[in-house]
Amino acid sequence: MKTNGRKSAPMAVQLPKCPTGIQGLDEITGGGLPRGRPTLVCGGAGCGKTLLAAEFLVRGVTQFDEPGVLMAFEETEKELTANVASLGFDLAGLVRRKKIVVDYVHIERSEVQESGEYDLEGLFVRLGHAIDSIGAKRVVLDTLEVLFASLPNEAILRSELRRLFRWLKEKGVTAVITAERGRESLTRHGLEEYVSDCVILLDHRVNDQIATRHLRVVKYRGALHGTNEFPFLIGDEGISVLPITSLSLNHQVSTERIPTGVARLDAMLGGKGFFRGSSILLTGTPGTGKTIVSANFAQAAAKRGERVLFFSFEESPDQITRNMHSIGLRLEPLVKRGLLRFHSARPSLYGLEMHLATMFKEISTFKPHVVIIDPITSLMDCGTDSENKGMITRLIDYLKAGQITSLFTSLTQGGHALQQSEAAMSSLMDSWLLLQDFEGNGERNRVLYVLKARGMAHSNQIREFLISDRGIDLVDAYIGPSGVLTGSARAAQGALEKAALLAAQQEAAQLKREVERKRAAIERQINGLRADYEIEAEELRRIAEQVGTSTRMLTTERTASGILRQADTKAVVRPHSPSRNGKVNS
């Protein structure tokens, strides 16, 4: 898977190449078919040999201005014109404009009798005449081997064919010769013996009821080329070969961030949402809301005026719009304004390659800013693991080259093993959101994780994912000693915590009141004591006054009586226990 013609080291002398214009083929062959030499295209019935050859001619005219001759041995000009018209090629018009000559060579064995020696000069003359009449640079001989059935003398035929190819080389035309694939050799009649410059093998295989076409460059003399089998498909714009290895990992990146449409999810993604042009994987078990997240993202983008292309492989557009009504998302106005386009198809409608081609075509015509693929897993039922990986790689590569943000939903069947099985796909993704169910308490609750988000600081926490008629919301899940609680358990736990808080608050208030009361009591006591003290102090003051008065009075009296008794004044002045006396007297 590593070889690629484009990576070829610069050679001293590069073979001149003749670009085919066929999407992808020139990349594999490193520029096209060998110029001026015949190329053999072989393959079984119905694998697209004639179409490849016809496209080589038509694109030669339309893209490289190289007229061509188509010598058809199997189909008439009319049939060919009709056949390639389905690829959008106007063969008849090119014939009219003298850019292409179609020569139908028909020879019926039953009508021809052989007698004696002959050569195929007639064929040479016709071919030469056709080439010269328009100056053709390209020649297609569509199933030359029919001659083996028409002409009985194989010895002559073989020597003439050898001469033919030599003649073609001398003419300097780039020729494509188609041939039926043989059982053991590349072609039924061993044409590879004569055409040895370039051999391309086409193959149409059925794997698990899904048919896929493959192209392989078996041989390319003198040039490096991709040697792998490359899937190719025939779409309504011709053949496109899809080289898996064209993923060169050099696309430009944007630092612009785009919101997801859910504010809390943006917050989880570093506060701003996804990077523009990044690829996002959204995995989840059935019923976890993948489509809802996608639709939400789509709506958010369309409301910003961006174009959104929604590939749905499970539901019809009407069904999605109806279902999104239930969560309050109105998508029809966006569809009407041409901002949102749905593309619904059953995954089993056609093979993986065809799906891819259809998607490429839709994307290139609608030029969306955001592409949603819901779900990528049902598409992956179409192919084998390696095909799927190749397809997703190419798809992401294509989208990233166009800076288109892509959201892929992926359905997992639950359990953790599947998370690993998707690791292969997830390595291609820039962001990975996981939606999960949490079971317990008789209910299922949705949770969302951001498993990875390249280039941004994202939340590592689980969020409960709520879907209501107003859309989606993310709430913190309860994470406590008893684990992660969601839904009613989370609500119950919340209530429980609220009650506990209330009780604690009440207790604190109670305590506060108690303290207050105590403080008041002490205050009261202090006041009482102070009052007592003041009463006593007052008493004391009064008594002191009384004592003073009575002492004075006594002194006066004694003086008076002393005067009366003419006693010595000095002896009388000394008072005896004035307070007791005073108290008694009062």
Partner 1 sequence: MKSKTAKPRAATKPRPPAKLWQLRLYVMDQTAKSQMAFANLKKICELHLKGRYRITVIDLLKQPQLAKGDQILATPTVVRKLPSPMRTVIGTLSDTERVLVGLDLRPAA
Cite the active site residues. 74, 314
Coil, strand or helix at 431:
strand
Smallest distance, partner 1 to C-beta of residue 114, A: 5
> Residue 439: what are its φ and ψ, rounded to 5°?
-105, 145
Closest CB to partner 1 among residues 120, 370: 120
Smallest distance, partner 1 to C-beta of residue 14, A: 36
**Cα distance between residue 127 and residue 144, in whole Å:** 13
Closest CB to partner 1 among residues 105, 433: 105
Burial class of residue 29 (count of CB atoms within 10 Å of its CB; 0-12, 13-18, 19+): buried
Contact 153, 115 (CB under 8 A): no
Which positions touch partner 1 (CB under 8 A)? 103, 105-107, 111-123, 125-126, 128-129, 147, 150-151
- The residue among 34, 69, 59, 51 whose CA lies nearest residue 174 is 34
Smallest distance, partner 1 to C-beta of residue 48, A: 26
Query: Count of CB atoms within 10 A of residue 124's CB?
Result: 16
Closest CB to partner 1 among residues 119, 523: 119
Closest CB to partner 1 among residues 113, 460: 113
Query: Count of CB atoms within 10 A of residue 183's CB?
Result: 5
Residue type, 45: A
Closest CB to partner 1 among residues 151, 345: 151
Contact 51, 84 (CB under 8 A): yes
> Residue 332: what are its φ and ψ, rounded to 5°?
-60, -40
Smallest distance, partner 1 to C-beta of residue 107, A: 6
- The residue among 372, 272, 276 whose CA lies nearest residue 317 is 372
User: Residue 14 gets which letter from DSSP?
Assistant: P
Smallest distance, partner 1 to C-beta of residue 217, A: 31
Query: Count of CB atoms within 10 A of residue 269's CB?
Result: 24
**Cα distance between residue 411 and residue 298, in whole Å:** 19
Closest CB to partner 1 among residues 81, 283: 81
Q: Which residues are 33's β-sheet partners?
A: 18
**Cα distance between residue 310 and residue 294, in whole Å:** 9
Closest CB to partner 1 among residues 165, 398: 165
Closest CB to partner 1 among residues 126, 276: 126
Smallest distance, partner 1 to C-beta of residue 9, A: 45
At which residue do the structure tokens 């005067």 appear?
563
Smallest distance, partner 1 to C-beta of residue 395, A: 48
CA dihedral 415, 419, 421, 425 (to 10 degrees): 150
Smallest distance, partner 1 to C-beta of residue 196, A: 24
**Cα distance between residue 315 and residue 309, in whole Å:** 14
Note the Cα 212 to chain centre separation in Å: 25
494-503 burial string, b = 16+ CB within 10 Å, else e?
eeeeeeeeee
Contact 341, 308 (CB under 8 A): yes
CA distances from 404 to 141, 256, 353, 363, 433 (A): 43, 12, 20, 10, 18
> For the packed helices 317-325 and 290-303, what is the interaxial angle rounded to 10 degrees?
90
Record the tokens describing residue 265, joined without a space.
Answer: 């999810």
Record the tokens describing residue 579, joined without a space.
Answer: 């307070």
Smallest distance, partner 1 to C-beta of residue 76, A: 12
Closest CB to partner 1 among residues 26, 142: 142
Pairing status of strand 308-312 against strand 370-374: parallel
Contact 331, 295 (CB under 8 A): yes
Closest CB to partner 1 among residues 107, 467: 107
> Residue 163: what are its φ and ψ, rounded to 5°?
-65, -40
Smallest distance, partner 1 to C-beta of residue 160, A: 9
**Cα distance between residue 381 and residue 210, in whole Å:** 10
